[in-house]
Structure formats: C-alpha cells, structure tokens
Amino acid sequence: FEPWNDPNEKPLIQFRGVTKRFGDFTAIDNQTFDIFEREFFALLGPSGCGKTTMMRMLAGFETPTEGTILLAGQDIAPIPPNKRAVNMMFQSYALFPHLSVWDNIAFGLKRDGMARDAIGDRVAEMLKLTRLEKFARRKPHQISGGQRQRVALARSLAKAPKLLLLDEPLGALDAKLRQDTQFELMDIQEKTGTTFVIVTHDQEEAMTVASRVAVMDHGQIIQADTPARIYETPNSVYVADFIGDVTIIEGTATRDGAGYRIDFAEGQPALYAETDIALTDGQRAYLAIRPEKVSITAEKPEDKRNALRGKILDIAYLGNLSTYHVELPKGQIVRAQTANTRRLSRRSFTWEDEVWLSWTDTAAVLLER
Ligand code: ATP
C-alpha cells in the first residue's frame, strides 16, 4: 500500500483528548487524532455517531467539554468562528437569491474590506477554478443545481481558508451529477491545496473523494486510514461491515504455523488465516472476507486449504459482476462475487447449485472483535 502521507506532512488540525457532552450524553468521546495539511479527510458513520458535532467544533459553533483542538499549532477555543481560518459549506448552500453569482462569491471579501481590484481578481480566479465564468451575472435561480453547488464552493474558498468543512456537500444532487461532482471536488481540492474535511453518510462517496477516511461509531473514530487500507485491512468487524460487502465467520482460533486455524462449526472444515494480531488459543475470532476474494467452482479446488461446500441461494446480476449468496450446511451465508467475463458467463451457476467456495490464506482478515 502507498503511505497516505509523507513524513514531512504537517498536522493542520490536532484533536487532543476531545470530549463533547450534551447534558449527560457523550456525543464525542475522548478523541485524539490529526488532520494533515492538504488532506481530503472524510468523516463517515451512521446517523448520530457524531460527525456533525466534530465539524461544528472545528467551525466554532460548539466548544469541547474537555480537551483541546489546535489549528496550525494554536488552540482555537478562544477564536470566534468568523476569525478562524476555517469555512463551512452547508448542504443547503445558503446562497443569496437576490445577488448574482459574482456578488455571492465576492460577499465575504467585501465584508472583510478587501480592496476592489483585489476582489475582482479573486472572484475571477474562483470563477475559473469552478468553471463558472459564463454564469457570473446570473442569479442562483437561473443556474442548475450542480452550478449552484459550485458557486457555494467558490464562495467558501474565496477567502482562502486553511480548512474547508463540507457538510454533505453533494446531498442535493442526483446520482449521476453527484459522481461527476465528486471528481470535480477532488480536482479543486488538489488545485487549491486547501485541507478539506467532508461529512458524509455515503461510504462510496467517502471512499472516492477522500485521501483518508475516518469511520466513526458512538462518538469515536474506530479507524482512520486510506480508502484502500480501510477496505483491505479493516481493524474491526464494525469497519469491515460498514465499508463494502463482507462475510464475517465467527469461530475459535488456534495457532497454526504463521497464522491461525479457525474452527467455526461442527463437521465443517477448519479455515486458515495469516495475521499480525496475537490471539490466545481458544479465543473467539472473526474472519472477514470480501466477496471478490472468494472463488466459486463446481469442483473442489486442489490447491487451497480454505474450501467449503455450499448451495446457491441468491444471485444478483450487476452487469460486470455477479454476486452469489451461498448457504453453508449449518446455515451461514457466504458472499462470493465473480467478474462476468464472456468465458464465465458461458458456464455460470444457478440457484440451488451445489458449489465449492475457496480462498487463499491471505485473502481473509482475522479480527478480534
Ligand atoms: P447525522 O448523520 O444524522 O447528521 P451525525 O453523525 O452528524 O448524524 P451529530 O449531529 O454529530 O451526528 O450528533 C451526535 C449525537 O449528539 C446525536 O445523538 C445527537 O442527538 C446529539 N446531539 C447533537 N447536538 C446536540 C445538542 N445540541 N443537544 C443535545 N444533543 C445533541
């Protein structure tokens, strides 16, 4: 895997033991982590896990109950929201309907008393960055939803904040436009070099745009890592399950050579996995396996230790891929995914087929909880 940051990367944001309570409810639970300069950082998690609270503390709309947040090495607690080098773009965009695109982007600069020529230059730069030059004189109701989104972005970036907070920035766009806009957002982030922190409940969106994704649960970041590492080496069943499709097989671990043997059901063959974690013999463990790592064959594979017999319950045809739900004799369901190349489609499987599922020792991730 590529490292997600080079060692010269400087932290822009530092959370140090940050807790936020509302009454006796803990919304953010003792969090210590860094967000680096030029990073595109995504906060991802189910509703109520604390994503928005994290953002609102950065913006200055909430203050931590305990702990400190540093911005470029400075405690931000005493700095009011409008004096922080932080801007927040809301899902509603909050554009001024009676002002032109140009005036919307210029608004904050004028309020700050920037010189007229400098405002002109800065607005022109922002219009170019967001490809809105042609729409400068239009009002928000005279442009499309995607263009309005870009105006909001241009306006948020006009004052060159060090940190831009994006709260579900693409939530109002339809699926196709949303995808195009994700790439545009990545492009703009890269061009400006501004640190972006995005809040989203859409895991695909987080995995697409972000250089690092923080998966949250109940006020805690469970894992913060590159999309590839979050997917390939989740640190917990929670993360494995939250991101992408996965089968979790619970069993008992016993040391076996470089890895572990997992016994998961009476009369079923043991499974094998290599791992860095240390388990004691007899400990409960969870094997997480991605569907595309599971081979599905009619005959028992000769070369693999992890091989299970099962029956096809469901098939989802996805064009380029098919996903199979295969039931093991004791009722567990394993998901397997195959690419629909022409060769495969000639001899594909159907409902009720008895098949063999198999994978290599390194394909599965062994987890403690
Ligand atoms: P969503 O995806 O639904 O927006 P979220 O992850 O952004 O969720 P938060 O808005 O950060 O979640 O809220 C985290 C928890 O804190 C929730 O249980 C919420 O009810 C609670 N909470 C947030 N703000 C307040 C408040 N001002 N007073 C009391 N409780 C609050």
ipTM for the assembly: 0.96
Q: Which of 240, 266, 293 is the last residue of a domain?
A: 240
Per residue in 227-276, pLDDT (tens digit) is: 999 999 999 999 999 999 999 999 999 999 889 999 999 999 999 998 88
For residue 344, the SS3 value is helix
77 shares a domain with 150: yes
Q: Are 239 and 230 in contact (CB under 8 A)?
A: yes
Instruction: State in Å: Cα 222 to ligand 1 middle.
Output: 18
Name the residue with tokens 């890592």: 225
What percent of the chain clears pLDDT 90, i.e. is strictly above it?
A: 80
Per residue in 141-194, pLDDT (tens digit) is: 999 989 999 999 999 999 999 999 999 888 878 888 888 899 999 999 999 999
Instruction: Return the best residue to mutate from 53, 56, 205 for the ligand 1 pocket (most ligand atoms within 8 A of CB).
Output: 53
* CATH at residue 321: 2.40.50.140
Per residue in 181-201, pLDDT (tens digit) is: 999 999 999 999 999 999 998
Which residue's alpha carbon is at the smallest distance from atom 10 of ligand 1? 52
Instruction: State in Å: Cα 51 to ligand 1 middle.
Output: 8
Instruction: State in Å: Cα 28 to ligand 1 middle.
Output: 10
Using the predicted structure, report yes or no on whether residue 2 has a pLDDT greater than 90: no
Identify whether 163 is part of a domain: yes
- Which ligand 1 atom is at minimum distance from the Cα of 56? 11
Model confidence at 7, in pLDDT bands (50, 70, 90)? low
Mean pLDDT of 4-29: 87
For residue 223, the SS3 value is strand
Reference 14, options 77, 86, 73; nearest CA is 73
Residues with CB under 6 A from ligand 1: 22, 25, 27, 45, 47-53, 201
Q: Are 84 and 76 in contact (CB under 8 A)?
A: yes
Per residue in 207-221, pLDDT (tens digit) is: 999 999 999 999 999
Buried/exposed code over 283-296 (b: 16+ C-beta within 10 A; e: otherwise): eebbbbbbbbbbbb
Which residue's alpha carbon is at the smallest distance from atom 19 of ligand 1? 48
Phi, psi of 97 (to 5 degrees): -65, -30
Instruction: Return the best residue to mutate from 22, 44, 91 for the ligand 1 pocket (most ligand atoms within 8 A of CB).
Output: 22
262 shares a domain with 235: no
Structural domains of the chain, count: 2
Beta bridge partners of 348: none
Using the predicted structure, report yes or no on whether residue 345 has a pLDDT greater than 70: no
Instruction: State in Å: Cα 52 to ligand 1 middle.
Output: 7
Per residue in 91-114, pLDDT (tens digit) is: 778 899 999 999 999 999 999 999
- Which ligand 1 atom is at minimum distance from the Cα of 55? 11
Identify whether 2 is part of a domain: no
Domain, as residue range, for 270: 245-367
* CATH at residue 81: 3.40.50.300
